[in-house]
DNA sequence: TTGAGGCCCATGCGTGCCCATGATAGTCCA
DNA sequence: TGGACTATCATGGGCACGCATGGGCCTCAA
């Protein structure tokens, strides 16, 4: 589970330390995949072998000739960098990805549950501010609370007991 | 279940003892997540792995590109501190969260059923006073009583018997 | 020969772990 | 019913390990 936000830095050799909690979330594997987040946020997105396996299964659900499948394969699978984590926990980010996400010097890692993101810090604060204004809208929290209660009730019905 | 309110303090190293009943509510896990309460109350909100798992399921219910999902991921998942409880029951609160919630010295923990909150004591009393005036309004208790009776009747219909 | 990448060692700082101490409440017995 | 004992919990502080980071050397390819 990728949670929280961590600071990091790209060193003179283009190397980046993956935050230790994220390495733990990768399940001890020393392989990471990194690609451009497809939502236009300008960040990079990353995940481990487990996520890639999930993507593989997801793609298998889609018709072989569908444009959706083709687009995902091209923009995520083909566009991913397949990186090896060295024994001090670092990877070398390819230059083209760094340029695409405007990364140099200080960077931010943010957890997204199943994946994580790598940000230019300023872009991240901007994104944060935008998201905060959405969260402040009462209908956002309402919608989340409604979905949350649905999940809880489903759990309770399945006899999985209470939270906490 | 997180119930009741407890006093606490931040020590010189930025550490805070999680009240023992809340630790018990975390189910023996030594991992806590803490983030800014998204309701503008100025408190921090906290929960355990179980709550995060519920949030993960809830997010999975929401469309991948929906602004709600993105906002919650940014403002809760990414904004959370992923804290480890040491064997005396303490965590180190990150400075940015302390600043955001105006915490230093004495603090208050308040139970919220599925999660708990961490308060600046003065803000908490203010909040308490505001809430008390709302509770005093007859329509508040009416609405609560109506919902309560609906739940009781649903239970009775399901043959789950009486309230202890 | 040179530049880039992979691998290894060195270091400083943060924080996680462990010790001890003090306070409080709950229990047991006189 | 009162007092002493004990268990649990909050708190303070020291120490060492883990993590992020910097740099050197070797290898391979252009």
pLDDT band at B15 (very low <50, low <70, confident <90, very high): very high
Residues A93 and A12 in one domain: yes
Q: In the prediction, which pLDDT does A34 show?
A: 95
Same domain, yes or no, for A110 and A84?
A: yes
- Closest nt by CA–C1' to B84: C16
C-alpha pair distances (Å), A96 with each of A14, A41, A109, A119: 12, 16, 18, 14
In the prediction, which pLDDT does A40 show? 87
Same domain, B105 and B130: no
What is the C-alpha separation between A143 and A8, in angstroms, rounded? 34
pLDDT band of residue A158 (cuts 50, 70, 90) is confident
- Quick one: pLDDT at residue B91? 95
Cβ contacts of B58 on chain A, cutoff 8 Å: 144, 147-148, 150-151
User: Which of A4, A117, A144 faces B80 most closely, judged by CB atoms?
Assistant: A4
Residues facing A92 on adjacent strands: A15
- A64 pLDDT band (50/70/90 cuts)? confident
Please name the member of A113, A134, A150 whose beta carbon is closest to the beta carbon of B61. Answer: A150
- What does the pLDDT read at residue A157? 82
Task: Say if residue B148 is in the same domain as residue B75.
Answer: no
What is the average per-residue pLDDT within B33-54? 94
User: What is the spatial distance between Cα B30 and Cα B45, in angstroms, rounded to a whole number?
Assistant: 17
Pair (B93, B134) in one structural domain: no
Q: How many domains does chain B have?
A: 2
- pLDDT over threshold 90, residue B158: no
Instruction: Among A155-164, B13-22, B48-57, name the one with the lowest average pLDDT.
Output: A155-164
Same structural domain, A73 and A26: yes
Confidence of residue A160 (pLDDT cuts 50, 70, 90): low
Residues A63 and A144 in one domain: no
| Residue B155: per-residue pLDDT | 86
In sequence order, which residues have a C-beta less than 8 Å from that of residue A134 and are 6 or more positions away?
Answer: A140, B67, B68, B70, B71
In the prediction, which pLDDT does A59 show? 92
Give mean pLDDT, residues B43-55. Answer: 95
- Mean of the per-residue pLDDT values of chain B: 92
Given an 8 Å threshold on Cβ–Cβ distance, is B52 in contact with A1?
Answer: yes
- pLDDT for A1-22, tens place per residue? 999 999 999 998 999 999 999 9
CA distances from B100 to A126, B36, B86 (A): 18, 8, 24
Same domain, A76 and A137: no
**Residue B77 φ then ψ, to 5°:** -65, -55
Per-residue pLDDT at A163: 60
Residue where the block lists tokens 């009776």? B149
Q: Are A80 and A32 in contact (CB under 8 A)?
A: no
Range of the domain at A150: 124-164
The mean of the pLDDT values for chain A is 91
- pLDDT score for A65: 86
Q: What is the pLDDT of residue B20?
A: 94
Strand D atom within 7 Å of B88 CB: yes
B62's CB contacts (< 8 A; 6+ apart) are A143, A144, A147, B68, B69, B72
Segments in B62-137 forming alpha helices (H): 67-72, 95-100, 121-136
Q: Please tell me whether residues B114 and B127 are part of one structural domain.
A: no
Asked whether residue A164 carries a pLDDT value surpassing 70, the answer given is no
B98 and B133 share one domain:
no
Burial of A134 (0-12, 13-18, 19+ CB in 10 A): middle
Shared domain check, B30 and B69: yes
Residue A34 belongs to domain with CATH number: 3.40.1550.20
Q: What is the pLDDT of residue B161?
A: 56
Confidence band of A28 (pLDDT split at 50, 70, 90): confident
Q: Which residues of B touch A3 (CB under 8 A)?
A: 33, 52, 77-78, 80, 82
- Return the structure tokens found at B106: 């004495």
Residues A99-135: tens digit of each pLDDT: 999 998 899 999 999 999 999 999 999 999 999 999 9
Do B139 and B68 share a structural domain? no
Q: Which residues are CB-neighbours of B50 under 8 A, at least 6 positions away?
A: A163, A164, B26, B27, B29
- SS3 of residue B108 by DSSP: strand
pLDDT-above-70 percentage for chain A: 96
């Amino acid at each position: 589970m990728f949670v929280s936000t961590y600071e990091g830095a790209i060193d003179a050799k283009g190397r980046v330390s993956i935050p230790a909690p994220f390495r733990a979330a990768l399940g001890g594997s020393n392989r990471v995949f990194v690609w451009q987040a497809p939502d236009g946020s300008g960040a990079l997105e990353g995940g481990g072998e487990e996520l890639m396996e999930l993507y593989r299964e997801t793609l298998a659900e889609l018709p072989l000739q569908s444009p959706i499948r083709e687009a995902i394969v091209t923009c995520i699978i083909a566009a991913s960098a397949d990186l090896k984590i060295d024994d001090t926990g670092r990877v070398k980010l390819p230059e083209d990805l760094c340029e695409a996400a405007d990364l140099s010097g200080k960077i931010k890692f943010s957890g997204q549950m199943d994946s994580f993101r790598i940000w230019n810090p300023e872009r991240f604060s901007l994104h944060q501010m935008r998201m905060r204004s959405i969260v402040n809208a009462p209908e956002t929290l309402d919608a989340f609370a409604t979905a949350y209660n649905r999940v809880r009730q489903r759990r309770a019905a399945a006899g999985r007991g209470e939270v906490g």
